[in-house]
């Protein structure tokens, strides 16, 4: 693919995201009229005298924060999935490879059972996710075996162990309050987003995305194989370490505010590769925009299609699983 076509595609995706932002802002259970949004914006800018305070509060305190957080979470999970898949040379790897989601779930469940506030819950989920990564990366060091496979296996060990801890917590949790909260958290939702989450996760998003973009050509070399990377003078362990830290920070930050959300980090990078190829200098920006767009659409559906709030993992599963099957089918037919 030539450079100008890639730029056109990225521009098109960005425009789609921009349009989706305004469409999503106009949709909701209270009102689906875009003119209501326009009136609020105009009155805020001083062009319109009639002020609908309810609609204003809905737009600024409910829809806007939720849309921005959805965009950030989608971008973070997709980016994390793309670089994990690149570094581990395995397209079937998702962002919770090193047990981030299980660790975050244990952290959130502990906070729920201790009666912590929403903010404390988010902090504990974040710390739980990072603790899981710390454990997963410590096991290979313990065995003095630092190859990729060992890291993947230790991720499975840590995830399995944390899942059992979570199961114990669910078993002893109070059924009507704590258990219901843990289960709902695990299915993912943006319904409790207040706005302060944007301030909490944006620095992580910006710093990690920038770092990964700067490292993107090195990730390309890593994805060729360790031998090739060494020949080209790349410090494999250092680069891989930085990528793992960035991807883990991205995933832990995302799940700490939204709960665990499946499929995004697995499917979107695949879709990105079909669109722009395996070059990470192009794949990273494309995946960020596509992930943001995907999650924005999913969350808009979650809050609008029914009176009842639909958990995000249900929708990402319904959309993501068939999409993934289609992508695999397409790749197979292309290979033939």
In the complex, the residues that contact other proteins under the rule CB under 8 A are 28-30, 53-54, 57-58, 61-63, 112, 115, 117, 171, 174-181, 184, 189, 191-192, 194, 303, 307-309, 311
Residue 89 zone, left/alpha/beta (φ > 0; ψ -120 to 50; rest): left
Structure tokens at 134: 């710390």
Closest distance to other proteins from the beta carbon of 177 (Å): 4
Closest distance to other proteins from the beta carbon of 298 (Å): 14
Closest distance to other proteins from the beta carbon of 268 (Å): 24
The residue among 60, 55, 59, 68 whose CA lies nearest residue 21 is 68
Task: State which residue, 179 or 284, has the beta carbon closest to other proteins.
Answer: 179
- CB contact at 8 A, 289 and 14: yes
Give the count of alpha carbons within 13 A of 66, CB side only: 27
Closest distance to other proteins from the beta carbon of 296 (Å): 15
Closest distance to other proteins from the beta carbon of 42 (Å): 19
C-alpha span between 79 and 291 (Å, rounded) = 8
DSSP conformation letters of 96-112: GGGSHHHHHHHHHHHHH
- CB contact at 8 A, 166 and 36: no
Task: State which residue, 29 or 89, has the beta carbon closest to other proteins.
Answer: 29
Task: State which residue, 192 or 318, has the beta carbon closest to other proteins.
Answer: 192
Closest distance to other proteins from the beta carbon of 114 (Å): 11
DSSP conformation letters of 152-177: HHHHHHHHHHHHHHHHHHHHHS-III
The residue among 59, 301, 61, 54 whose CA lies nearest residue 194 is 61
Task: State which residue, 58 or 100, has the beta carbon closest to other proteins.
Answer: 58
Task: State which residue, 12 or 54, has the beta carbon closest to other proteins.
Answer: 54
The residue among 204, 275, 258 whose CA lies nearest residue 16 is 275
Task: State which residue, 176 or 333, has the beta carbon closest to other proteins.
Answer: 176
Closest distance to other proteins from the beta carbon of 170 (Å): 10
- CB contact at 8 A, 190 and 302: yes
Task: State which residue, 58 or 246, has the beta carbon closest to other proteins.
Answer: 58
């Amino acid at each position: 693919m030539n450079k100008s076509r890639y730029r056109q595609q990225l521009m098109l995706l960005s425009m789609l995201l921009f349009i989706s932002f305004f469409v999503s802002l106009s949709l909701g259970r209270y009102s689906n009229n875009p003119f209501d949004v326009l009136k609020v914006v105009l009155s805020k800018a001083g062009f319109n005298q009639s002020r609908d305070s309810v609609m204003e509060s809905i737009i600024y305190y409910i829809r806007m924060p939720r849309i921005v957080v959805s965009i950030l979470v989608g971008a973070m999970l997709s980016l994390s999935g793309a670089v994990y898949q690149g570094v581990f040379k395995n397209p079937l790897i998702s962002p919770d490879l090193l047990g981030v989601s299980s660790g975050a779930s244990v952290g959130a469940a502990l906070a729920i059972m201790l009666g912590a506030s929403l903010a404390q819950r988010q902090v504990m989920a974040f710390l739980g996710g990072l603790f899981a990564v710390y454990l997963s990366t410590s096991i290979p060091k313990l065995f003095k075996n630092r190859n990729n496979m060992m890291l993947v296996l230790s991720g499975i060990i840590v995830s399995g162990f944390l899942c059992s801890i979570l199961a114990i917590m669910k078993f002893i949790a109070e059924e009507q309050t704590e258990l219901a909260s843990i289960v709902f958290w695990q299915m993912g939702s943006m319904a409790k987003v207040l706005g302060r989450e944007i301030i909490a996760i944006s620095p992580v998003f910006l710093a990690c995305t920038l770092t990964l973009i700067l490292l993107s050509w090195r990730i390309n070399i890593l994805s060729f194989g360790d031998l090739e990377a060494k020949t080209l003078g790349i410090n494999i362990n250092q680069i891989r370490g930085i990528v793992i830290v960035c991807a883990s920070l991205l995933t832990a930050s995302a799940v700490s505010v939204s709960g665990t959300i499946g499929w995004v980090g697995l499917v979107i990078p695949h879709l990105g590769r079909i669109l722009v190829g395996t070059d990470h200098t192009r794949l990273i920006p494309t995946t960020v925009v596509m992930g943001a767009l995907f999650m924005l659409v999913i969350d808009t559906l979650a809050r609008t299609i029914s009176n009842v709030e639909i958990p995000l993992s249900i929708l990402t599963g319904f959309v993501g699983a068939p999409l993934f099957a289609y992508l695999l089918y397409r790749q197979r037919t292309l290979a033939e």
